[in-house]
Amino acid sequence: MATSERRPRNPQGEGARLRDELITAAGRLLEAGTDLDTLSLRGVAREAGVAAPSVYLHFASKDALLREVRQAHFESLRRAIELASATVQDPAAELFAGSLAYCRYAVEHPGSYRILFETPHATSRLEEFSGSRGEAAFRTLVDGVAECIAAGIARPGDPFRIACDIWPALHGIASLRRTATGFPWPPLEDQVRGILEAFTGIPYGTQSAVEETTRDRTT
Amino acid sequence: MATSERRPRNPQGEGARLRDELITAAGRLLEAGTDLDTLSLRGVAREAGVAAPSVYLHFASKDALLREVRQAHFESLRRAIELASATVQDPAAELFAGSLAYCRYAVEHPGSYRILFETPHATSRLEEFSGSRGEAAFRTLVDGVAECIAAGIARPGDPFRIACDIWPALHGIASLRRTATGFPWPPLEDQVRGILEAFTGIPYGTQSAVEETTRDRTT
DNA sequence: TGTACATCAGTGAACGCGCGTTCACTGATGTAC
DNA sequence: TGTACATCAGTGAACGCGCGTTCACTGATGTAC
């Protein structure tokens, strides 16, 4: 939102700072609701308080800028999850903390999340999944599930396959909260717990678990 | 893709035909990968083989055109689900058929699905969920779950709350298949069955169900 | 210490383009008398 | 049957705008001698 204020020139030798400022400015625009497809190079430059051609001092093209913006936001999501997971010890709590952090990030930074998982981009269309930044992130989910199985807290099963169900479910509840705004969604925490419980069998104490024990009650 | 061919003028009294042709043309562009945000009035006119101002004979503005396009695609998704559900009798099979049809539609018509559930639009931001077209569609899912519970096939529970989990999960697996293209996704049918089983308890005979019975096998 | 020069961060003007929208029109087809 | 007119479906040219990108430049700061 820091539009229209004259930005002082960087001291010599630190021109690279503008690079970060541009990525940050793009992030601000995304948070403010601008779509990745409608995000313009000129708009980013304006937001950074800089002339449009200055962008070319650090990025070869608009696409190159957006690519770096995406990368920065991916890193930011990764950090949010890591931070949340680090606060707890046992594997079940860690799985929940990480999952919730993922959804919270998506809900709280919709523009950011959108460019990560809701926008197809030329690069990722070509690049293979294996070895990608995304694979590394997914692997921590797989590992989390595996730990819970190894600890005997979760139902036995293929951790990879289970993670293949959890990720989309988390993505779904976060993503639809943005699109279906009028929908009476259950609290996010409850829903995350319910998803993890449904796919891993870990008893997080959701309502459905309670109902399972009192199965014969009539609706 | 019917670009650049001279479209014959409609006979008098049937000018309204162009209206449908424009909506269809927009649909073709969406299928071809054009984004809703990048879809231009001029592009649609071009695809329909008509001059740009002709659009204004039937739509007040670009937004009005896109609104109608969205509505048409919603109707098309609804029909696809209805058609699939009608082929089977018992409630569990119907739930599966409808769910699979939903995902298939999303996967096979990504551009269409995208404008329905992955693009925020001014109208739906304002309009309440209750009474909307979306609510009617969601209700059929709730009803499907309720029938399964009533028939004693599904675990007892709140059908609405269960549908709140199923919808995002289905959305997730369909949506991420488009974004995470390189990911080694399990077959769509298996995944849909797994989701329904996890949230309703209906034994669709997925692998995880098998594993559940042979719980003591080591990983 | 003074000065010429190089480097560096960034700018202003201009380009060609496609966009949404407006406007006055064209020319075929139907209708009234 | 002939003709004047109305209706209807659609067009071509033009508008002002913001876009991505290129280009030659400016002016402050550092460095060599």
Banded model confidence at residue A216, pLDDT cuts 50, 70, 90: very low
Alpha-helical segments (H) within chain A: 17-31, 41-48, 62-85, 91-108, 110-117, 122-126, 133-150, 159-179, 188-200, 207-213
The partner residue sitting opposite B118, judged by closest CB among A118, A129, A207, is A118
Residues 105-144 of A with CB under 8 A from B: 117-120, 124-125, 127-130, 132, 134, 138
Does A2 score more than 80 pLDDT?
no
A10 touches strand D (CB under 7 A): no
With 0-12 / 13-18 / 19 or more C-beta atoms within 10 angstroms meaning exposed / middle / buried, residue A210 is exposed
CB atoms within 10 A of CB B161: 19
pLDDT at A124 over 70: no
What tokens were used for A188? 């996010």
**Chain B closest-CA separation from residue A15 CA (Å):** 34
Using pLDDT thresholds of 50, 70 and 90, give the confidence band for residue A5.
low
Q: What is the pTM (predicted TM-score) of this model?
A: 0.89
Structure tokens at B85: 């559900």
Chain A nearest-CA residue for B164 = A185
| C-alpha of B72 from chain center | 11
**Minimal CA separation from B18 to chain A, in Å:** 29
CB contact under 8 A, A134 and B185: no
Average pLDDT for residues A26-37, to the nearest whole number?
Answer: 92
pLDDT at A35: 87
pLDDT at A204 over 50: yes
Contact flag B129-A194 (C-beta cutoff 8 Å): no
Structure tokens at B110: 């990504």
DSSP at A200 = H
**For B182-205, how does the pLDDT look when each residue is reduced to its tens digit (9 = 90+)?**
899 999 999 999 999 999 999 998
pLDDT of residue A218: 41
Q: How confident is the model at residue B134 (pLDDT cuts 50, 70, 90)?
A: confident
Q: What is the pLDDT of residue B136?
A: 87
Distance CA B142, CA B115 (A): 23
Task: Give the CA B9 to C1' C28 distance in Å.
Answer: 10
What percentage of chain A has pLDDT greater than the value 70? 86
What value does the CA radius of gyration of chain B take, rounded to a whole number of Å? Answer: 21
pLDDT over 50 at A212, yes or no: no
Q: Which of A175, A177, A212, A217 to mutate to test the interface with B (most CBs of B within 10 A)?
A: A175
Protein residue closest to D13, using CA and C1': B53
The confidence band for B120, taking pLDDT boundaries of 50, 70 and 90, is confident
Instruction: Check whether B145 has a pLDDT greater than 60.
Output: yes
What share of chain B has pLDDT > 70, as a percent?
Answer: 86
Cβ atoms B185, B203 nearer than 8 A: no
- B213 touches A at CB < 8 Å: no
* Confidence class for position B213, pLDDT limits 50, 70, 90: very low
Minimum CA–CA partner of A131 in chain B: B182
What digits encode the pLDDT tens for the residues B151-185?
999 999 999 999 999 999 999 999 999 988 889 99
Average pLDDT over residues B22-38: 93
pLDDT at A136: 87
Helix H, strand E, coil C: the string for A65-77 is HHHHHHHHHHHHH
Q: Is the minimum distance from the CB of B40 to strand D below 7 Å?
A: no
Contacts of residue A178 in chain B, CB cutoff 8 Å?
A: 120
Mean pLDDT of the region B110-133: 75
Amino acid at B197: E
Q: Between the CA atoms of B150, B156, B161 and B166, what dihedral angle is there, to the nearest 10 degrees?
A: -80
- At residue A128, the pLDDT reads 63
Mean pLDDT of chain A: 88
Instruction: For residue A67, say whether its CB is under 7 Å from any atom of strand D.
Output: no
pLDDT in tens, B80-118: 999 999 999 999 999 999 999 999 999 999 999 999 999
Higher pLDDT, B119 or B44: B44
Q: Are B52 and B26 in contact (CB under 8 A)?
A: no
